[in-house]
Structure formats: C-alpha cells, structure tokens
Structure 1
C-alpha cells in the first residue's frame, strides 16, 4: 500500500508521507493519524466498515438472533453435505418486512459506528471512498447467513479459480487465512464475536445518508479507467456496473464488491 501510494504521489508531484497505524478499526484513535490543519483529507475504507456493526445491531436484533452455535454443532455441520444439512437441520426463517428492514431505527448508526462516523466528520475530509462486500451476511438467522455465504463465496472462489492457478502459496493463504476465516466467522460466531457482517450497497446508502453523508457520483473518467484496467489484464469474467451512482464489481452476473464515494453534507 505504501509503495503504490508513494509511486502515484511521485507521478502527480505531490508531497506524500505514509504513517502506518496497526489496530482494529473500532480501537482507532483518529488523533493518532496526525492530520495537519489545512490539508485536504481523503478517507478510504476497504472492507473494514462492516466490522463496526458487530455491536450496533445487538439491541435492535436481540429478539431475532439464532441461538449461539456450539463447536460441536459446527463439527456436525462440516461432516454432512449441504443438502443433508438442509434436510435435517430445523430451520426458523425470519423474514422482516421491508419497513422493518429499512427503517431508520434499524439503520441509524450507533454506538461504535456512530461515534466513528462523527469522529470522521470532525476531520472534515473532502471525500470518503467505501468498498464493501456486496452480500448480506448480517442476517438474523443462521440459515440466511449460510445461504448468502454459499452463493457469495461460490462466485468468489469461481473467479479465483479462473484467474489464478492453484500452485502459488499466495492463493492458498488467501483461501485459508482470509476467505476461510470469514466463512467461519459468518456461520460459527454470534454477538460481538461475529465481525464479518457484510451488507449490500442499498443498506450502506441508507445508513450513511442517515449519518449525514451525501453521495458523490463516480466520474465517467474513473469508470472508463476501471474498464480499461479489466480489459488490459484480460479478465473476461469480471464485469462492472453502475448502481445508484456507485460502482459494483461482478463475476459474470454475480455482484461481489461495491465501491461508493461520499462527502459530508454541510
């Protein structure tokens, strides 16, 4: 990250410093960023913001959460095929109405998300770019999360298979240490331990607008550059589409990641 940013800054002849801070997003002290007064500030959140939902939804969803999943139960699940599990596992589907799912009370930022966004507001950034997984892994029931994770990660592993050979150790690390850990967290954890609470773009739009953000439409030039990058690397199965002024990256027709730009409303 530091090397790439430094190279881009040199191309644009912009003075640049990189000061890495290693900590969880929920523990980040924004004062440690050493932002200089008068400098133009841009914020980029890549696959991180959803972790702040771990505590935010415990109160509004208290009545809808599945019972905690024990290690014994997880082991039993892994010893069955998915079809066998669907047949034998008692399923309690909760289908919230559209009013409940998108109501301001269920999307209002609180407490960690709210305090984090308020702290960002105090820094007065010129723009904030948010990249998140385009899937709903924050459902109130285990069954919902299993099905969503199955569909999302099947597409993710499919695109990985088509673009990266199986031999490199880097791919094995990504599959095991990144995607594998995400899947376990989505299915086997509950409460504050379940950090991988991915939500779709429509939810992020509502949540960020309620927090005082305004969308910044992506420029035609930016979209064109992204399209050329895909063509240059010959990634046939990858596609891009614009949705509500935001960019959605897809594998074939399956959305994988959303990229949106935001600015604080004055």
Structure 2
C-alpha cells in the first residue's frame, strides 16, 4: 500500500535528477502498480504523459506504449470500466495485415529469417522429388516466391512443391494463393497451395494433406511462443477482466473505504495470485499445449523444422522482471527504427502503435491464457526442442553470406552471430531474434 502522501512522492520526483528520464520514471510506476500503490502510479503515469510522445525520439515513443500498458493493467481490474473503454474499439483485420507488411519492409528480421529458412530447405531437399512445406504462419508471399525462383534453377529440375499455408485470417491466405499461383504460372513451376484457416493452437495435424513419400519441412516464424501460455487450474480461476468479479459483498466493503483503497487491495491480490507459466520452463508439463503441439508435429516425420523466435526472456510471472526485460528488448527495436526510418513516417508510426504497442500491452497488462507474448531465449528453445526429440540441423554457409549482405543494406549496426549451430540477428550487440533448424530423431 502507499507509504506517505502521493503528493510528497511527486515533489520528490520533480526534485530528482532522474525525473526527466522517462524510463526511470516508468520503472518507478511499475513498482507502484506491482505493490498496489495506485495513487502514486496514477501520478507517475500522468507525469510520463508530459515527457513522452508517440512522435518523439525512440525512448519517448517506447515509453508511451509501456505507460499505456501499465494503465491497461490497472484498468483491467475494473471490469466495468475496462469494458466501457473498449466496447467500441475494434481491431481491423486490414490494419493487422498492413503492419506486418511494414515490419517486413522497415526491418530486416523477417527477410533474414526467410533467407536462412529457404537456404536450409534448398540444401536439405536437394534430391527430393516431392517437397511439402507446412508454413505455420503463412503471410508473406515474397518468401515462397524467392524459393520458387531458386528451385526452378535446380540441377535436374525443380521438385513438385506443395505448400500448406496456415493462418487464422482467410483473406491473408487468399492473397498468398493469388501471388504464388501467378508466380508458379510464370515460371511453369509445379506448385500446389493448400490454405488452412486456423489458429496455431487449433491446427489439426492429423488432417493436413500430407502423403506418404513427401519430404516435409515445417517453418515457424514468431509463432511457437504463443503456445507457452499457461492453461492450468490457477489460470482458470483468474478471469480475463481481473482476479475476481464485482459482486454485492464487495460493493458493501467498497462503501466502507475509498474506491482507491479497494482497487489497491485488488491489485495486490492479483499480483500475488498471478500464475507463473514458467514454473519450470524446461518441463513440458508446464506448457502442455507446446508438448502436444510438438508431439503432433513429430507424427508427420518432418525432414526439417526451422524456428524463428524473439530472443528475450518474457515468460516469467514477476511483473517487474518482465518489464525490465521487455524494456531491454524493445528499446533496441525502437532504436533500430529511429536509426533507419524517419520520425514522421506514417508506416513507422502504425508499426509502433499497432504491432509493437499491442505486443507490449499483452506482455504487461495480461496474465494467464491471455498473455500470448511469452518470448524465451534460444537456450530454452534448444532444450525444449531437444527434450521433444529434435536434433540440430546446421545452417547453411551460403545462407550466412547472403544474410550478411542483406543486413548491411539496412545498417552497419545490424549483425548476426552463430551460437551452437543457430543464428542470432542483433542490433549492435543486442540479440533480438534467433533462427534454428531441427529434425526429429529417427
């Protein structure tokens, strides 16, 4: 609870030399939220709004979305207020698709992943007659168009290529089909595209159109981490709107104390009860969806699996640790945009507000099954996949040469490094995304 007057805290803040640093202030606000000091958090967030802006420098822009996420975390424990504020807000499918395109265009991370993935497919499928790719998030036609063009030149002729594209939005798959079919027609390339409209966790691997004799490759770009959301009994007891629902008994208790005091107590209870999906991050039982999913993949006997994930540890329960790690990760992302894209760019503004802002909000404001942005570092992915029966497939030397050229076109500050046969793509020396290739032990 609060210690001392919130106004005294504000006076100290304004006298503090760090008060002009929005990140320091944000961390102090996070501490207030975590301990239930809602009055102080409110004052701090109001002050942050005066020194941050979605149109400012990289730090100001990032802090804007972090402070918004903290605000949402507070409001989510007021179900009525939260619903009232969000009742008319709708997420346009066209906006979500558009910002994914901006991320592809403005940053090299997806291009890097696609380049390395395609090279791994080309080398592992060198002598295969029928190749079947299962894309777990089929959204960017450029990746597979590049693959078609490369395979067309393959010595001995191209394989018969089947691509099963999985995405929850039908319109995305329709556009993929149009682009890929048109390109295959131009190249006279034997291609079959199978669209599957489904969320990742609902994919029915038993009914995918995989036939005996096909060489299967599975690609996952920034998808598997969403399966780490805890779905145990504790998570089920915490509703999406908050830890408990509003009822008459609570209304009586509210009448006996101020609304702010009631909210602070509620926030403390939520903080204590919030489940830790990473109770044992290397134990598949702690993320049952992941275990089931990997086991279903194994039944397809894929020759190759390529996984791209964010390189950050955001799957823990502790709110302050999560915010600290998220600040480290997203500060690098916002900085690379600041260095390579103008501040007035409408594409950058939409990318930051719709894509990155939405991710930050999910990391900070959500718990339990609602929290999908549960990034983990490469070392944990390696152990998890090895426990599921996977072995590493070394990544291509030729792919690395092409990847170096790609990154240099954006900025000399983009680099990559090899770690245990996997690749980390970095901004300066900060690793942001990992790419690794696998196959199941026979």
TM-score (norm 1): 0.78
Equivalent of 1:132 in 289, 306, 309: 309
Q: Give the whole-Å Cα distance in 1 for the aligned partners of 2:425 and 2:233.
A: 32
Deviation, structure 1 residue 133: 0.5
Would you tell me which structure has more helix in proportion to its own residues? Answer: 2
In terms of Rg, which structure is larger? 2
Alignment RMSD (CA, Å): 2.7
Q: Secondary structure at the match of 2:193?
A: coil
Question: Could you give the per-residue CA deviations for residues 56-86 of structure 1, whole angstroms, max 9, x where no partner exists?
Answer: 6x47999xxxxx689xxxxx9xxxxxxxxxx
Does structure 2 retain, via aligned residues, the 8 Å contact 1:44–1:130?
Answer: yes
- Unmatched runs of 5 consecutive residues or more in structure 1: 63-67, 71-75, 77-90
1:208 partnered with 2:385 = yes
Q: Give the whole-Å Cα distance in 2 for the aligned partners of 1:55 and 1:44.
A: 24
The within-5 A match list for 1:163-202 is: 163-202=340-379
Question: Could you give the per-residue CA deviations for residues 207-250 of structure 1, whole angstroms, max 9, x where no partner exists?
Answer: 1100111111212222222112223x142111100111100011
Q: Secondary structure at the match of 2:305?
A: strand
Give the match for residue 198 of structure 2.
23
Q: Give the whole-Å Cα distance in 2 for the aligned partners of 1:50 and 1:18.
A: 26
The within-5 A match list for 1:26-105 is: 26-55=201-230, 58=232, 104=282
Give the match for residue 414 of structure 2.
238
Question: Could you give the per-residue CA deviations for residues 162-217 of structure 1, whole angstroms, max 9, x where no partner exists?
Answer: 12223443322221111111100000000111011000001101111001111112
Deviation, structure 1 residue 45: 0.5
Give the match for residue 10 of structure 1.
149
- Unmatched runs of 5 consecutive residues or more in structure 2: 1-139, 153-157, 159-189, 237-241, 245-259, 261-270
The structure showing larger relative contact order (alpha-carbon pairs under 8 Å, at least 6 residues apart) is 1
Equivalent of 1:219 in 396, 404, 411: 396
Does structure 2 retain, via aligned residues, the 8 Å contact 1:69–1:188?
Answer: no
Give the match for residue 319 of structure 2.
142
Deviation, structure 1 residue 21: 2.6
Does structure 1 retain, via aligned residues, the 8 Å contact 2:392–2:439?
Answer: yes
- Runs of 4 or more consecutive aligned structure 1 residues displaced over 4 Å after TM superposition: 58-62, 107-110
Equivalent of 1:253 in 416, 429, 435: 429
Residues 111 and 16 of structure 1: CA distance in aligned 2, closer, same or farther (over 3 Å)? same
Q: Give the whole-Å Cα distance in 1 for the aligned partners of 2:334 and 2:195.
A: 30
Residues 147 and 121 of structure 1: CA distance in aligned 2, closer, same or farther (over 3 Å)? same
Q: Give the whole-Å Cα distance in 1 for the aligned partners of 2:390 and 2:143.
A: 28
Question: Could you give the per-residue CA deviations for residues 124-172 of structure 1, whole angstroms, max 9, x where no partner exists?
Answer: 1111011011001111210111101111101111011112223443322
Paired residues in the alignment total: 232
Does structure 2 retain, via aligned residues, the 8 Å contact 1:241–1:248?
Answer: yes
TM-score (norm 2): 0.48
Does structure 1 retain, via aligned residues, the 8 Å contact 2:228–2:290?
Answer: yes
Q: Give the whole-Å Cα distance in 2 for the aligned partners of 1:42 and 1:8.
A: 13
Q: Give the whole-Å Cα distance in 1 for the aligned partners of 2:233 and 2:429.
A: 35
Q: Give the whole-Å Cα distance in 2 for the aligned partners of 1:157 and 1:211.
A: 35
1:121 partnered with 2:298 = yes
